[in-house]
Amino acid sequence: MKDIIIERKFFIRELWILLILFIAVNLVNVYSIINYDASWYELISQLHVVLIITILLYFLIGVFRLFFFLIQRAIK
C-alpha cells in the first residue's frame, strides 16, 4: 500500500488558512460580546461553537476551492 505524502508547503498553507478563519470567527465573537454587552466569560464558554463554525467555514471554502479548480481544469 502506498503512503500519502503531504508537502510541507501545502500543509503550512492550510494551517494558515485555518488559523485566519479561527481568528476571524473569534473577532466576530468579540464584536458580539461588545455589541450585546455580554460577559467576557463568553469567549471561553463559546469556544466550542467558535471551533465548529471555523471548521464549517474551512470546509465551505474547500468546496469553493474545489469548484474553482474543476472549472479551471475544464477550461484548459
pLDDT of residue 76: 82
CA gyration radius, the chain: 17
For residue 49, give the C-alpha cell.
461553537
**How far apart, in Å, are the Cα atoms of 62 and each of 1, 8, 19, 42, 58?**
27, 18, 15, 29, 6
CA-to-CA distance for 17 and 64, rounded, in angstroms?
Answer: 14
Q: How confident is the model at residue 2 (pLDDT cuts 50, 70, 90)?
A: confident
Q: What's the average model confidence in pLDDT over 44-57?
A: 97
pTM: 0.86
CA-to-CA distance for 33 and 70, rounded, in angstroms?
Answer: 40
pLDDT digits (tens, 9 = 90+) for 11-48: 999 999 999 999 999 999 999 999 999 999 999 999 99
